[in-house]
Structure 1
Amino acid sequence: MSAATMLAVRLLRHEQDPVLTEIPVPTVGPGDVRVAMRACGICGSDVHIIEGSTVPAYLPITLGHEAAGVVEAVGDGVVEVAVGDRVSVNPMLSCGTCRQCRTGRQNLCPRIQVIGLQRDGAHADLVVVPAGNVVPLPDSVGFALGAIVADAIATPWRAIERARVQPGDVAVVYGLGGLGLHAAMLLRQVHGVRVIGVDASDSALARAADFGIEEVVDARAGRPATAVHALTDGGADVSFEFVGSVGVVEQAVRSLGYDGRCVVVGVGPDRLGLSLRQETLVARGQSIIGSHGYVSDDIRHLLRLLDDRTLSIDGTISHRVPLTSYADGLAALRDRTSGAIRVVIENDM
């Protein structure tokens, strides 16, 4: 491999696993930075892209959007970031000029692009993003954790902010994968909230206590909302749906008590068809809220919490593989028996 090329995981076509290949090093335009990738998560979203249920802007494309690394080059006009800086990467590239961007809601920009989906991503030696999309990574936070903050932790953080959570609330988390477990840790450690976890997996339910979830409901028993009401004497204050299933959304809404808020984060292709009566929703003052992504300020705030140890994220990075073993990491994520929570590629370079 020459100085003009690098290794990257490229998806050539759907329903075929990506391949590790040699491609040209990306150029750095004005206002851009080039980051030498030190860690990048393999996310369930990557699997959706590979399988074709999520369609990228073009093929072939380099996958990967949960990244952290070291700034290797800066473009013209960049003054706030320097070569050698440790950074987390916000993969959501917004236009900066629309109403949403001007009012601090860059995650809702109608022209948003996500690396690994609309632009080449970070399952590679190097990735290029606008300088405004990198966040300083404290020395106390390792690259692997700095990578998953920028999505797997920031996404539930934004959802919790949307829910107006208060200390002493009761929260129900539907789906105890990476997003749900991080949500539970944030709710317990930062917000002082009682958490009830709901899942249909033996392994997920068994490991819940390790992440601060002392009460769990097995969704396979049917109508988990009924069990939640029994545990809470009238329903939860907030519920979170991280599964992406209309049936789970229904149960998450039905788990609520008066003035309850259900935040839907999971993404699925089906139309919502709630059987809840409209008068019930109104009379109980309940809300159904969508939450999409996060903004760079969310990442900054989370990194401060990690730096001062207000927040401790331990155990959710279950698998670490080098870039050259990407296929092994992908296999672990797909294998329901592997115990995978977050799989992270690490690149020492």
Structure 2
Amino acid sequence: MAKMMKAARMHDVGQPMAIEELPIPEVRPTDVLVKVAACGIVPNLGNVLANWTKWFTHLPLPKLPAIFGLDATGVIEAVGSQVHAWKPGDRVYVNPARYCGGCRACQQEIRLLVRTTRSMGTSGSANARRKCLTTTLMAACAST
């Protein structure tokens, strides 16, 4: 039986999120599994989603059910086989920005110049859950 975690998921626009049990994601070679202690939710998320098709005509509505939330903090529970800078027990902040990791700006760690980004937390694939996967590019050490 798969190990489970709790997550707040939205099934329908205008309806409250439901707390559900979901399988804990499998850790891939470059992933970091974080036990989420806290995360934020955009205060006007319901309003944004209700008006998504009017305000963001160039972006598709996230596939529902979706998990929202951003700026997660927590403790690393597991790391993939190619992760060497982080270890279980490290406290981290999970940056909601998703970078490509392969362009010159990413390689030089100049994140402001990256052209291919996506924000986790407003796109329906996020941290409002007990555990989340992130790549080593997105984790940042928290003060101890």
Q: Does 1:138 find its partner at 2:137? A: no
Q: What is the match of residue 7 of structure 2?
A: 8
| DSSP 3-state at the match of 2:93 | strand
Q: What is the match of residue 18 of structure 2?
A: 19
Q: What is the match of residue 43 of structure 2?
A: 44
Alignment of 1:284-303 (within 5 A): none
Q: In structure 1, what residue type is equivalent to 2:136?
A: A
Alpha-carbon distance in structure 1 between the residues aligned to 2:61 and 2:88: 31
Q: Name which one, 1 or 2, has greater alpha-carbon Rg.
A: 1
> How far is the alpha carbon of 1:66 from its aligned partner?
1.6
Q: Aligned pairs, how many?
A: 138
Q: What is the match of residue 74 of structure 2?
A: 69
Q: What is the match of residue 111 of structure 1?
A: 116
Distance 1:75 1:50, change over 3 A: same
Q: In structure 1, what residue type is equivalent to 2:45?
A: D
| DSSP 3-state at the match of 2:137 | helix
Instruction: Check the 8 A contact 1:10/1:18 in 2, yes or no.
Output: yes
Q: What is the match of residue 29 of structure 2?
A: 30
> How far is the alpha carbon of 1:131 from its aligned partner?
1.6
> How far is the alpha carbon of 1:111 from its aligned partner?
3.0
> How far is the alpha carbon of 1:19 from its aligned partner?
1.2
Q: What is the match of residue 89 of structure 2?
A: 84
Which residue of 109, 127, 132 corresponds with 1:127?
A: 132
Alpha-carbon distance in structure 2 between the residues aligned to 1:78 and 1:28: 11
Distance 1:78 1:112, change over 3 A: same
> How far is the alpha carbon of 1:116 from its aligned partner?
2.6
Give the % identical residues: 30
> How far is the alpha carbon of 1:117 from its aligned partner?
3.5
Alpha-carbon distance in structure 1 between the residues aligned to 2:49 and 2:124: 15
Alpha-carbon distance in structure 1 between the residues aligned to 2:116 and 2:33: 22
Instruction: Check the 8 A contact 1:15/1:52 in 2, yes or no.
Output: no
TM-score in terms of structure 2 length: 0.81
| Deviations 1:112-165 (CA, angstroms, capped at 9, x unpaired) | 2322334621111101010221111112xxxxxxxxxxxxxxxxxxxxxxxxxx
Q: In structure 1, what residue type is equivalent to 2:68?
A: L
Distance 1:56 1:99, change over 3 A: farther
Instruction: Check the 8 A contact 1:113/1:119 in 2, yes or no.
Output: no
TM-score in terms of structure 1 length: 0.36
> How far is the alpha carbon of 1:7 from its aligned partner?
0.7
Q: In structure 2, what residue type is equivalent to 1:124?
A: R
Instruction: Check the 8 A contact 1:35/1:72 in 2, yes or no.
Output: yes
Query: What runs of 5+ residues in structure 1 fail to find an aligned partner?
Result: 140-349
Query: What runs of 5+ residues in structure 2 fail to find an aligned partner?
Result: none
Instruction: Check the 8 A contact 1:96/1:106 in 2, yes or no.
Output: no
More displaced stretch, 88-97 vs 47-56: 47-56
> How far is the alpha carbon of 1:76 from its aligned partner?
1.5
> How far is the alpha carbon of 1:49 from its aligned partner?
4.6
> How far is the alpha carbon of 1:52 from its aligned partner?
4.2
> How far is the alpha carbon of 1:110 from its aligned partner?
3.6
Structure holding more strand per residue: 2
